[in-house]
Structure formats: structure tokens, C-alpha cells
Amino acid sequence: MAKTVVVTGGAGFIGSHVVDRFLAEGWQVTILDDLSSGREENIPSAARFVRGDITTPEAAEFIRHGRFDVMCHLAAQIDVRRSVLDPVYDATRNIIGTLNLMEAVRGSGYPTRAVFSSTGGALYGDFDPPPSSESNSKDPEAPYGIAKLSIEYYLAYYGRVHGLDTVALRYGNVYGPRQDPHGEAGVVAIFCNRLLDGRALTVFGNGEQTRDYVYAGDVAGANFAAATVALPPRGRLDARAFNIGTSCETTVNALAETLCAVSKAPSPIEYAPARAGELARSALDTTKARQVLGWAPQVSLRDGLERTYRFFADRRAGQERPV
């Protein structure tokens, strides 16, 4: 009998890639999504779709009686800027929504493994030089990162006190086909669309700030690994947390130049004032994920950017294709 997974936020950018990976591995996949930011066209016919809001009693009841082997939890408020403007909304969606689901898992009595999508750069802050390891100090600048860290503390609590099977994946800046321009790596989607429009690329600050750009398909692979491998016992906060990135720093200038090259549509770069509170440097040490999960990124930045640009170009032309 096929194993079962529920992917919350499975109609979204990263979630839809996670759904694709589990389907390719022969799992029975259920998507739980309220479509507030997810898209119906991201839902494959092979997956079961349940429309629901993770903060509601109905969603909790669904998880409690679902008897899922794995819950990949990606449903979230993902806009860092919105978290600053409305931290109550951010906490309601991200903290309370997650607790609603985890209480349902606890109440089910079923050994569901919960794989939580956390964050890397927004968690560690700018105090230690990159690449950041899982044991680095945590100093999130925005409510978005604060909420993700809070959830990780709750997961550690559920593991230690209630014996639940939990794991956290701390992503770098995820990019790829189906990307929403409002996510952490939304700059890739924004640049792709500007190139297709023949418009200049806007870079904030001097463009030398760095990020760890990781392809969405590789992140989906990390979710599958975290769902299926044997994990160390739950202990301290970082015991079952894994950085998911490339360990490489890429400047925004280099990102823009590479996209111009792969698109064969060179575009001028315009510089705008730096944004307050933006990290100067970010990259993740992925040694632990390689050693414990057996995971490593497979897609180079250039190849990933080429695939992403091609996706947006095809969608613009009405020829969207599988990714």
C-alpha cells in the first residue's frame, strides 16, 4: 500500500514542487490549501485537493482523522514586508495555524512525521559571517523570521514532551518555476518578468549583498529526504533542523548578470536606495543535510535560472509546460 502525505500549501510555489516529487515517488498525495496565494493550475490531477484554512477547526479535524504518514507543512504567510506591517496577522497564520495542525497530529494518535518549512537567512541574522550552520545564533530581524523560530521551538516541545516525529528545514532563497514575486527570493521572478517586458532591472543598494539561491526542485528533494530517512533523536532545538541551500553566496549583481545572459535579453541595471534592515550577506552551511539526510543540491544556479526564465517565457506565450 502506498504511503500517504498531506502537503499544506501544496498549491503554492514551493509546495507544488514538493507535491510533484512525492507523486513521482509513488506516494498518495493530498493537498490542503485555501488558495489565498496558491494557484489552481498548480494542482496536478493525480493529487487529492482539499480546500481549507490551516487556522480553522475544520482543517484540524481533517488532519486528526487523515492518518497521514507525513505532513509537509508549507502553508504560511510568506511576505517579510507584510509581517513587519502586520505582525499579528503574520503570527496568526504562521504560529497559530501551525499549532492548530500540530495539536491535531498530537490528538490523532497516529505516527505522522511533520516536516516544517522554516527559513535560513531570516533566522540567523547578520551577526555571524556566512555560511551559517544550524548551531549559529538566531537573531531574526522581522516578525516573519521570529514566527518561524517560534514554531521550531514548539516543534522541539512536541518532540520532547509528546514524542511527536518532527523536523525543520531551513531554506535559503528558493527560486524556480511557478515562483511568486512576493517570496524571499521573489527577485528572480521579478527580474524574469522585467526581462520579458524589456524593462530595466532594479537593484536596491549597491547590489553586493549576497544570498544563497536554491532551486525549488532541490528543495522538494530535501522534503522527500526529510520525510523518509531515519533521523537522530529529538533533543535540543537544532537537533532535527537542517539547512537547505547551496552554501554559495551570490550577489544580486551576479544574479542579474546571469539572468541577462541566460535570457539572451540584456537589460540595463538601475540602482535604488538600499532597503532598511536588509541582510548584507547570507549563505547556509549544508554539511548536516548532506551527512544526515543524504541530500545535496543538484541544479546549478545558471541551469536553474535558465529553467525559471524559460517557464515565465512559456507562460507568457501560453505554452506552459511541465517542470
Domains of the chain, each with CATH number or no CATH? 4-174+215-244+284-298 (3.40.50.720)
Lowest-confidence pick of 46-50, 107-111, 112-116, 277-281: 277-281
pLDDT tops 90 at residue 183: no
pLDDT band for 185, please (50, 70, 90 cuts).
low
Helix (H, G, I), strand (E, B) or coil at 217: helix
Burial class (CB in 10 A: 0-12, 13-18, 19+), 256: buried
Q: Please, what is the average pLDDT of the chain?
A: 94
Using CA atoms, how far apart are residues 323 and 230, in angstroms rounded to an integer?
29
Better-predicted residue by pLDDT, 124 or 319: 124
pLDDT band for 322, please (50, 70, 90 cuts).
low
pLDDT, mean of residues 38-45: 96
pLDDT of residue 122: 85
Using CA atoms, how far apart are residues 109 and 165, in angstroms rounded to an integer?
12
Known catalytic residue at 175: no
Lowest-confidence pick of 96-100, 169-173, 264-268: 264-268
Residue 32: what residue type? L
Instruction: Give Cβ neighbours of residue 225 (< 8 Å, ≥ 6 apart).
Output: 289, 293, 294, 295
| DSSP category for residue 200 | P
Instruction: Give Cβ neighbours of residue 122 (< 8 Å, ≥ 6 apart).
Output: 80, 140, 141, 142, 144, 145, 148, 184, 279
pLDDT of residue 78: 87
Instruction: Give Cβ neighbours of residue 89 (< 8 Å, ≥ 6 apart).
Output: 77, 82
Determine which one of 89, 124, 144, 171 is catalytic: 144
Using CA atoms, how far apart are residues 100 and 88, in angstroms rounded to an integer?
16
